[in-house]
Amino acid sequence: MGFFKKNNEAEHIVGIVLRQNEGVGLLLKTNPQARDVVLADERRFPYSNSWENIVYDIDEVLFNIEEEHKIKIKKVIFFVYAHLVDRKTGLVKSTYLDKIKEIVKQNELESLGYIEYNDVLARYLGEKEQGPLTAIVVEIDTTAISAFIYKSGEVVFSETVSKTENLTADLEEIFVKSNKDTQLPARIIMYDSSDLEKESSQILTHNWPENLFIQLPKVEVMNPDELTEALAYEYKEQLYGANQTTQPKLPPVVVSEAPETEIKVDDSGAEAEDAIDEEADEAEAIEGFVIGKDIAKEVENEPVKEVPASFESKEESVREVTAVAGVSGLTSKFPRFSLPLEFLQSSSGKKKLIGGVLVVVILIGVIFSLFFFLHKAELTVLYQNQEITKTIRINGVKLEKSSNKVTEKTSIATTGKKDIGEKAKGDVTIYNASNEIKFQKGTKFKTADGLVFLLDQDVTADAAEDTGPSIIKSKTKASLTSAEIGPKYNIKNDVRLTIEEKLDSEPFALTTAAFTGGTLKEVRIASKEDYDTIDAAIQKKIKKSSSASIKKASGEKNVIGDLSEVTITDKTYSAEVVEQAESLSLEVSANVIFYSYAEEPLLDGIVEKLRDEIPEKYSLSKDNITYQIISGEKSDKNNSAELTVKATARPVLLVDKSSLVKSVKGKPLKSIKPIIRDEFNAAGYRVAFNSPLPLINSFLPFFTNNITLKVAPLP
């Protein structure tokens, strides 16, 4: 059986990831029918006060999960980081164990136990890559770094050290210890740090002691999604895994205050079952911290069939390479050979000799085929990246002139305002107490409150009549029109108006009836500001259209944007300035002129300018140059330009590939490092074997055609 008993009903299990300063709550939902486990929720939470308040922190997380999903969580499994576990006893350190027990007790949970994080990832990667893991797994927490060396899926060395600011120094401290007993794999898998990408780069460029790695290690970073997927996969495998009828995928874990009650399962399975039976009652009393209570069952030994040493068939004998320990899925076959049994069984010594020779020839043929057809490798020679970045000027770059026509139209609401209306009109009587007076057209008449009216035509006011004791004023009719528009000029009857430049005692006028016709209305007009606004808007659209036109052309040609020209050829407004209008439209046509260049001559010029910058034993080709045109100055005389270019060049190490392959073919991996470094000036190398037989992957192929050589910079 697996870790967990079979259950045909779906249930929710909470998985809690425990680190030094933060944790993760995973809600796992089982699906017995589909034999699957899905992640229903994931919640990361920092500890409010380190491990002091972790019980309350987790209680809050569980409460929120239960409230949101409307469930009651009853079971929990813990995933712990390695530095929380005592490496000698294999148990969680008592400081953390007490807190874990309190978490279980306070939340009334059934504990399924704990699993170390690195073991989960090793099994997950083994399943994902369809083969047992061989790599260094590096686990990074805020206070500690742990490293585990896996070979063929088994941990051969592990160590935890305190974390410092220098990651490579921490790892080197671990690796130096491990190298005394084992050869380090050239693959490092890292997870859970604040800046793993930067740290992985430090590992690649670090100058490791020569005796640590056969070749430069490859560094991989696991992202949070992969980590979560690994945890869900682990629980699924323990619940529904194919091997649950034979033996557990993990050793049982007992979290106990008394190490002497620890229960372990050995390879036979039978002893473990007896041990579990004997200690069952005691295990149940330890807060449920037992995983795999029902896991050990005896596996009946199948009888071994004896195979005769002779050939099974007179017709033919098939020699087939079967799976080597630690390698699955090997199905490569060698050619079939058919020999008559009578031939080998002849009593003639000569025939026996010939038969023996044939067997030797066949073996040689098999071995030759093995190394010729199956032993292949990709050798990547790594060199220090000698990047060159420089701003240079290239003269005489030939230009090709092209043009496109673009048309844009836009409109805006007008903002100008203007009053329109009619002037008021009416009749008055002019009173004159003196001599005859002539009033010219346009003479101003003003009311007491300042309203001005103008005389419609020339008028002569008669002289007053002097009767002796009194003077009789003359009366003269006249028509007036208001100086401005508006209803306020519709003055009433019998309103007194004075005449411009005359005293009040001299001639004046009185309205004979109320004035009429004065009206006023505010309307919108196209203002000067509206013209400025719409001009700016159309310029943006023209610029955008021009850029799009140039960009389209850039897909086919190398266009120099700084040399582009936009000329307005036509501009039409829908209204004049101060003209009444609710909106203002503008349509513009423009001619876009742009210049392009041929890239090959420019790259030739860049290579020539950078020639003195190329390091010794490096070469620079146009394929390894990127550039950006900063500015350009066009010359109309010969239709060329002077360009200012920021160029980035990555010279490549000069390697005689044929000579290198001949120098390293058939050699053990340990011996090729000085050859590549000293004779070919490389910084390191990587080897990837395309062979299903690990036993022959400790040395390079003997045939040059089986070695694929690449030259690449350090990452």
The average pLDDT across 481-498 equals 94
The confidence score (pLDDT) of residue 430 equals: 92
pLDDT at 348: 57
Residue 322: count of CB within 10 angstroms of its CB: 8
Q: Give the end of a domain, one of 511, 546, 563.
A: 511
- How long a stretch of residues is the chain? 715
Q: Amino acid identity, residue 557?
A: K
What's the pLDDT tens digit per position in 5-52?
555 677 888 999 988 888 899 998 888 877 888 888 988 888 888 888
Same domain, 26 and 93: yes
Question: Rounded to an integer, what distance in angstroms lies between the CA atom of residue 403 and that of residue 628?
Answer: 23
Same domain, 18 and 113: yes
Among candidate residues 453, 487, 511, the one where a domain is terminated: 511
Q: What is the mean pLDDT of residues 235-255?
A: 52
Cα–Cα–Cα angle for 26, 130, 266, rounded to 5 degrees:
75
Joined tokens for residue 685: 């190398």
From CA 623, how far away is CA 627, in angstroms rounded?
Answer: 11
Q: Within this chain, do residues 473 and 412 fall inside the same structural domain, yes or no? A: no
Phi, psi of 524, deg, nearest 5: -90, 145
**Which tokens go with 618?**
């490096």
Of 9-18, 233-242, 404-413, give the range with the top mean pLDDT. Answer: 404-413
Instruction: Beginning with the edge strand found earlier in the chain, give each strand of the sheet holding 110-116 in spatial order.
Output: 36-46, 22-31, 12-18, 75-80, 110-116
Backbone angles phi, psi at 677, to 5 degrees: -75, -50
CATH, residue 244: 3.30.420.40
Among 191, 222, 253, the domain-final residue is: 222
Instruction: Give me the pLDDT at residue 217, please.
Output: 82
Rounded CA separation 291/255 (Å): 9
Same domain? 551 vs 570: yes
Flag the least confident range among 78-87, 259-268, 322-331. 322-331
Angle value at C-alpha 286, between 283 and 291, nearest 5 degrees: 55
The pairing of beta strand 416-420 with beta strand 521-525? antiparallel
Same domain, 90 and 175: no
Give 391's strand partners.
Answer: 646
Report how many domains make up the chain: 6
| Residue 408 confidence (pLDDT) above 70 | yes
Task: For residue 439, count other CB atoms closer than 10 A to its CB.
Answer: 22
Look at residue 359 in the predicted model and tell me its pLDDT.
86
Of residues 372 and 132, more confidently modeled: 132
- Which of 619, 626, 599, 633 has the alpha carbon at shortest distance from 393? 633
pLDDT value of residue 572: 92
Residues 137, 143, 148: CA angle, nearest 5 degrees: 15
| Residues 202 and 341 placed together within one structural domain of the fold | no
Q: In this predicted structure, what is the pLDDT of residue 503? A: 53
Structure tokens at 567: 């000329």
- CA–CA dist 594, 632 (Å, integer): 12
Same domain, 92 and 33: yes
pLDDT of residue 312: 35
Same domain membership, residue 199 and residue 108:
no
Mean predicted confidence (pLDDT) in 579-587: 90
What are the tens digits of pLDDT across the range 621-643? 988 999 999 988 888 777 888 88
Is 343's pLDDT higher than 50? no
Binned at pLDDT 50, 70 and 90, residue 305 comes out as very low
Residue of 382, 368, 381, 380 lying closest to 696 (CA atoms)? 368
Question: Chain-centre distance of CA 408, in angstroms?
Answer: 37
Residue 495 belongs to domain spanning: 426-511
Residues 21 and 104 in one domain: yes
Q: Which of 143-152, 244-253, 363-372 has the lowest mean pLDDT?
A: 244-253
On whether residue 232 sits in a domain, the answer given is yes
Q: How far, in whole angstroms, is CA 441 from its chain's centroid?
A: 84
| 301: in domain | no
Q: Name the residue with higher pLDDT: 17 or 340.
A: 17
Q: Does the residue 704 lie in any domain?
A: yes
Longest dimension (CA), the chain: 187
Q: How far apart are CA 661 and CA 573, in angstroms?
A: 76
Q: Which two tokens stand for residue 48?
A: 């409010």
pLDDT at residue 346 greater than cutoff 70? no
- 273 pLDDT band, cuts 50/70/90, is very low
Report yes or no on 447 lying in a domain. Answer: yes
Q: Which residues pair with 173 in a beta bridge?
A: none
Residues with Cβ within 8 Å of 16's Cβ and at least 6 positions away in sequence, in order, are: 23, 24, 25, 26, 58, 76, 77, 78, 79, 103
**pLDDT value at residue 543:** 85
At residue 502, the pLDDT reads 62
Q: Hey, what are 307's tokens?
A: 């195979």
Cα separation, 183 vs 87, whole angstroms: 21
The Cβ-side half-sphere exposure at 605, using a 13 Å CA radius, reads 21
User: What are the residue ranges of helices labelled H in 561-685?
Assistant: 599-610, 657-664, 669-674
Q: In Å, how far from its chain's centre is CA 426?
A: 82
Is residue 309 predicted with pLDDT exceeding 80? no
> Does residue 668 form part of some domain?
yes
Residues 112, 235 share a domain: yes
Rounded CA-CA distance 288/110 in Å is: 6
User: In terms of pLDDT, which residue wins out, 612 or 309?
Assistant: 612
Whether 2 is covered by a domain: the verdict is: no
pLDDT in tens, 162-221: 888 888 888 888 888 876 656 788 889 988 755 666 777 778 777 777 777 777 788 888
Is residue 296 in some structural domain? no
Q: Confirm if 494 and 427 have CB atoms less than 8 A apart.
A: no
Residues 167 and 182 in one domain: yes
Give tens-digit pLDDT for 415-474.
999 888 999 999 999 998 888 888 999 999 999 999 999 999 999 988 888 777 788 889
Q: What is the mean pLDDT of the chain?
A: 78
Q: Within a domain: residue 610?
A: no
Residue 80, judged by CB atoms within 10 A of its CB (0-12, 13-18, 19+), counts as buried
Reported as a single tens digit per residue, the pLDDT across 515-533 is 999 999 999 998 999 999 9
Whether 182 and 331 map to the same domain: the answer is no
